[in-house]
Chain A
């Protein structure tokens, strides 16, 4: 009987495969041929790539499979996430601490995968927070945020967290120049008092971040960044706009100059200056959050950063004039070409790293700003891409000699040759593309299979859902001469930037459980026999265990109105994919979601007498509905003693 059923299923699967197997001769949808089979991942099969999208104003990170566009996970980072207690539990809320106190929301922008020798290595993913400047590091074996560091002396951390070739540094920069250090000054004293800051955050071998130095620069808006690679390793490039230094109505007042600047930073030179003691120690307060060896987030209040200025450290920063209000700055796989997305420019300017070095050696300067020499545009330009679409923003590379630039206003991707700088193909994006992403497309070795358009406007592409519509991504095949649209899929929040890596790089490294033996949480309960309830003044500590399919203890008495009841719950499971949840009536916080072997804590302050149920929120077994318990709450001063049951 069983065999027959299984055989029938196998047969059905075969038929389904037959139905979708592409032959290239099908009738096209808008000229897309066998688009369906190109993105079809059969039930039970895996996607070929992980795709990490910025969650934008959700503050989180989306993880999708490619080519299917299936959403696999949302990783909570800068915003509280009630689904698993991120930022609510006693063990994770320190992750959202800043020098401004607890900040429950963030604006995540640019996912950046760690690199070794300019190639994605699958260790970590970094992502920046724009609003309250921070950088987070996500561990790609757990898909959990491992660390968040605040960036002091900065505002609007947009040109971040792009890494150097061996992940020596992840960078940060000031998008909204401010008085630096902060000061109570008139806003219209901008030109006099406002500055930008380019921050270099050292990444240790174990991933731990540490602000190495900060470079004080003129008060422009530093917008995006990329580091050099290969021959240009040792340099980082930051676009800036608002060289007009306007402080109001920037859409007009910051669009006056024909050219703004890319700041080319020789960070190896900066290291020398810091080592030579040319930096100045500033009293910068910032908070650094990470998990300790008990898997509990802790916050270190840090004090002091080393600030250097171009005036005191010569040969460190140069300005490359770049039309006009440039947005993206992208270095090609050879490391020799630096493309800028001049969002108000009629061309895509492509600077030559080699020419830049020659111009520096020849002191081919047209001026200087606060100790920063301005190079002559004509001396450093490798080429200008004509007719690149309106509003060019970002460029990625396919590793086969072509670049792909997003054009926001004309809503298209233009493909151009790195040899001739001529546009060779273009494809519309639906609608208003911002960033675009090719797997490995900002590294020395791209996987040039697809480009993914990350669109700001969705309009009529999906079933309407009231005033707020999903943003979207579009998967486009770039394996041939002509780009070919394959798939639309909605995204979480606003997918500013995204990066992808082959699943084979990380899928076999996934942590499945936390070994209970290695649980060093000071309030872990590693065996049912140790489960207990203890009163400590007005605090009641419940040391609770979960396993399919019961809590110990599951009857608790002696709690009083107004107590702080700490449920320290340990999941004793040691099997993959068996989390348990914990929730109790009226808790003014989220649930707990406990991975196997993990201890997490929910604090409940009961407000009324009565008997309140708690239960497992994550379906765990056939007897999941039975996984419940009761907590009795007596009046303040009651003589009911603490009691609890154990098996």
Chain B
């Protein structure tokens, strides 16, 4: 009997607690602000700048000028590519992700680097990256690459062309 009555008391008290708590408020603004901040950052419908549309969104915020092909850098890039990219990308055929033989002609070096370095935000905000996701249905993961390494990968991709891959 004691058990039953104490359970009832607890339920009643819980109901009253909710009712009582509704009335006061006052300390809710911080959390509400935080919630709306999250809504904004995750919205994905914000306007991109012309730079972002052409060169992507990420840590590379100035156009990376590429000059004559640097074979040594391309060699470094190829080694990183083999470890961190080749599980999903081939040069001359579609695999998990797109073939990359012509990517260096299709996209700016800056765009490629931002895509490598900041894939999550690119998928959230960049219309062309979103379109790629719709086509390939796999997110390109962040592979923990440094900006210098991303630059070297670009150099490798510049050096690679369909048919040249190992």
Contact = CB atoms under 8 A, between A and B. Distances in A.
Given A3-B43, A18-B25, A21-B24, A10 B35 contact: yes
Dominant SS at the A interface? loop
Contacts of B95: 647
Contact of A574 (B26, B28, B35, B144): B144
B1 interface: no
A229 to B, nearest CB: 38
A574 B84 CA distance: 8
Interface string A1-28: 0110011011001100111111101111
Contact of B18 (A19, A528, A547): A19
Contact of B38 (A10, A513, A545): A10
Interface string B75-89: 000000011101110
A34 B21 contact: yes
Interface in A577-595: 578
A361 interface: no
B72 interface: no
Interface string A610-647: 00000000000111000000000000000000000001
A621 B139 contact: yes
B27 interface: yes
With most chain A CB atoms within 10 A of its CB, the pick from B13, B82, B83, B87 is: B87
B17 to A, nearest CB: 5
B84 A552 contact: no
A7 B39 contact: yes
Contacts of A30: 13
Interface string B1-36: 001000000100110111111111111100110011
A37 B27 CA distance: 11
A401 interface: no
Interface in A513-559: 513, 515-517, 526-529, 545, 547-550, 552
B142 interface: yes
A48 interface: no
A383 B15 CA distance: 47
Interface residues of A, number: 51
Nearest to A23: B24
Given A6-B40, A22-B27, A34-B17, 17 more contacts: A2-B45, A6-B42, A13-B31, A20-B21, A21-B25, A25-B20, A26-B17, A28-B17, A44-B38, A527-B86, A528-B87, A547-B88, A549-B138, A552-B87, A572-B84, A575-B144, A621-B138
26 contacts: A3-B45, A7-B39, A17-B35, A18-B22, A18-B28, A21-B24, A21-B25, A23-B25, A25-B23, A27-B16, A29-B17, A34-B21, A36-B21, A516-B83, A528-B87, A529-B82, A529-B86, A545-B87, A547-B88, A547-B141, A550-B96, A573-B143, A576-B142, A622-B137, A622-B138, A647-B95
The 9 closest A-B pairs by CB, nearest first: A23-B24, A26-B20, A14-B32, A574-B144, A27-B16, A13-B35, A6-B39, A547-B87, A17-B31
Interface of B: 3, 10, 13-14, 16-28, 31-32, 35-36, 38-40, 42-45, 82-84, 86-88, 90, 95-96, 137-139, 141-145, 166
